[in-house]
Amino acid sequence: MSSHGAPIPIMSHPCGPLKGEAHVPGDKSISHRALILGALCVGETSISGLLEGQDVLDTAKAMRAFGAEVTDLGGGRWSVHGVGVGGFMEPDQIIDCGNSGTGVRLIMGAMATCPIVATFTGDASLNKRPMARVTDPLAGFGTQAVGRSEGRLPMTIIGAKEPVPLHYEVPVPSAQVKSAVLLAGLNAPGETVVTEKEATRDHTERMLAGFGAQIRTEVTDIGRVITLQGQPELIPQHIEVPRDPSSAAFPVCAALITPGSDVLVPNIGLNPTRAGLYTTLQDMGADLGFENMREEGGEPVADLRARYSPDMHGIEVPAERAASMIDEYPVLSVVAAFATGKTHMTGVKELRVKESDRIAAMADGLRANGVTVEDGPDWWSVVGLGPDNVPGGATCASHLDHRIAMAFMVMGMGAKAPVSVDDGGPIATSFPIFESLMGSLGARLERT
């Protein structure tokens, strides 16, 4: 079932060359943060290029429930009149974050040190995901949480009345956990310090600095140590959201596996904590270029050019690269099926607690479509069949997971027979224009 209505089965037919320009939507991670940080300032934050996917719309609704004035000005432009650090009001309804782990975990952090109570829920996927990874550190500020067994939603968070700052070492590589702690630290007096062994996406740190917080990151022997001075007065900003490298992955990978393709994907943010997939594809021998490299708003940006790449080979994807491409493994595993030889991916146990168990979901669907996959708790490998050799022909379950649905749609474009998903509805959480955009390049996606 899709999260907001009846299932939408989609079939992706093998297609001719994909050609043209793919203007993908705004970055999901930055869009959530722009709304939340805007809500934590007094005054108006203006945002352009906001991703208007369901996940982000749910965060916008939540910010209104906590007292911010959030207005859709049309054309991706939004304005947020915030309530200031510590100024969140108590919502009078349950906060429904839909499918979004980022939304719920960051918002829990942002309200955890306000003297209010809020109850959170989500769809069937989100309500299975672990929240203790966030509520455990929040307890260190004095926050209480009461949820279902094993720390699942629905869950009520009782904000700390007199928060104390926290020193916390994040036990799993998670930008959501790091960000929840930093957002909670905003309303605690003194310094909150977060240490992460492996670098995860650093949008929260960069944006907090941009909004005027005192925050510094030191790279040490034990990892990255991030120190935030509590109770700043955040200053409203204008945020131009860059286009999402995780969404760009779909047209890029589709072009690599579809004979004759040549696709340009302009204006993609290539923050090094996000760009691991593109390094991996180059290591596999993909014909992938970075044109017009430049810096915008302190972030590296480039136009990606992807051409059909029949000579790709399987590789060992380094475990230390996992955090920088964590959302891209589903579509990478599809590309790996079209490469020659085995692609082995390790250090990926976080994939098992995403919108779905992404290793299991992809392994099942790849196998049903004629591809050999092996997997263990923290690793998986895909045995590539080489170009033009992937059978396809099966229907895969998307498990309420947008990236699983889109990965199998990409697979159908280069396979010998169509590939279907039982429900493409979740695609709207992060990439609402996926079907029309891919169609404009020459893909043949059909709602069945």
For ligand S3P, the binding residues (CB under 6 A) are 29, 102, 174-176, 179, 201, 326-327, 350
444-447/10-13 β-pairing: antiparallel
Cα–Cα distance for residue pair 132/407, rounded to 1 Å? 29
- What the block records as the tokens of 376 is 């263990």
Q: Are 215 and 226 in contact (CB under 8 A)?
A: yes
Rg of the chain over CA atoms, in angstroms?
A: 21
Instruction: Work out the angle at residue 183's Cα, subtended by the Cα atoms of residues 178 and 184, and round it to the nearest 5 degrees.
Output: 100
Please indicate whether residue 303 is annotated as part of the active site.
no
Nearest distance, CB of residue 203 and ligand S3P, angstroms: 7
User: What are the φ and ψ backbone dihedral angles of 361, each rounded to 5 degrees?
Assistant: -65, -45
- Name the region of 155 (left: φ>0; alpha: ψ -120 to 50; beta: rest): beta
Residues near 436 by beta carbon (within 8 Å), at least 6 away in sequence: none
Q: Which is nearer to ligand S3P, 120 or 338 (CB)?
A: 120
- What the block records as the tokens of 165 is 């700052």
- What the block records as the tokens of 167 is 């020193």
- What the block records as the tokens of 292 is 């017009």
Nearest distance, CB of residue 16 and ligand S3P, angstroms: 32
DSSP 8-state secondary structure symbol assigned to residue 40: T
Q: How many Cα atoms are found within 13 Å in the side-chain-facing hemisphere of 360?
A: 11
Cα–Cα distance for residue pair 369/396, rounded to 1 Å? 9
Q: Could you tell me where the DSSP H helices lie in 369-432? A: 402-414
Nearest distance, CB of residue 106 and ligand S3P, angstroms: 7
Q: Closest Cα to residue 300, out of 308, 309, 310, 290? A: 290
Q: Is 131 helix (H, G, I), strand (E, B) or coil?
A: coil
Nearest distance, CB of residue 252 and ligand S3P, angstroms: 18
Place of tokens 């829920």: 121
> Is residue 294 packed enough to be buried (19+ CB in 10 Å), middle (13-18) or exposed (0-12)?
exposed
- What the block records as the tokens of 298 is 């302190």
Q: Could you tell me where the DSSP H helices lie in 126-244? A: 132-139, 175-185, 203-210
Cα–Cα distance for residue pair 112/187, rounded to 1 Å? 9
Q: Which is nearer to ligand S3P, 123 or 327 (CB)?
A: 327
* Given the residues 202, 287, 327, 401, the one annotated as active site: 327
Nearest distance, CB of residue 389 and ligand S3P, angstroms: 31
Q: Is 305 helix (H, G, I), strand (E, B) or coil?
A: strand
Q: Are 143 and 113 in contact (CB under 8 A)?
A: yes
- One DSSP character per residue, 309-322 reads -TT-B--EE-GGGG
Catalytic residues: 327
